[in-house]
Amino acid sequence: MAQNVDPYHAQRANNSKHSEEGRSNTNDSHAVTKRLQKELMSLMMSQERGVSAFPEGDNLFRWIGTIAGPKETVYELQKYKLCLQFPNSYPYTAPGVKFITPCFHPNVDNNGNICLDILKDKWSALYDVRTILLSIQSLLAEPNIDSPLNALAAELWSKPSEYKKHVLDTYKQV
């Protein structure tokens, strides 16, 4: 079966005539819970610098992530908080990810929404929280100005001093 196909939903589609119960929603969220616990342990044991994430309170389906601005960029001394919301169909469906900390960037809108292909049409069940955070950190250094959510940021990207001024004016540590 393809890596991005949720076997539960594929099986239900194939067996829709048989009204078979299959897995219940409880079992679905148990599988997701196990996956998220494994990812949390992996992140905690990781030596990865500049990215981290933990569940928000007791809710394993909602995490707060942090990324440090990439070195040698206008974001270098900044730390950004993000919210990750995991659906019951995770990892077959990408989590919702938004910046909590205001971020002036061509691929981030004023509400914190992120335009990143791996969070949309290029999502793979092989990705994990670490991959997501590292990809967003990399996006800060190398935006896709051909597909901007923030037209002003895309326009100013080629004017480093003006761009940096907007980044610093927008940034507020949360």
Q: What CATH number is attached to the domain comprising 50?
A: 3.10.110.10
> For 58-114, what is each residue's pLDDT tens digit?
999 999 999 999 999 999 999 999 999 999 999 999 999 999 999 999 999 999 999
Q: Which residue has the tokens 């897995």?
A: 23
pLDDT of residue 48: 81
**Are 110 and 150 a contacting pair, CB within 8 Å?**
yes
First to last CA, the chain: 43
In a domain, 103, yes or no: yes
Domain count, the chain: 1
- Give mean pLDDT, residues 36-47: 92
In a domain, 120, yes or no: yes
128 Cβ neighbours under 8 A, 6+ residues apart: 39, 42, 91
* Rounded Cα distance, 53 and 113, in Å: 18
In order of 5, 27, 102, the CA distances from 12 in angstroms are 12, 14, 41
In a domain, 23, yes or no: no
In a domain, 48, yes or no: yes
Residue 146, domain extent? 29-170
What residues act catalytically? 115
Whether 23 has a pLDDT exceeding 60, the answer reads no
Q: What are phi and psi of 121, to 5 degrees?
A: -75, -15
In a domain, 6, yes or no: no
User: Taking the model in full, what pTM does it have?
Assistant: 0.83
In a domain, 112, yes or no: yes
In a domain, 166, yes or no: yes
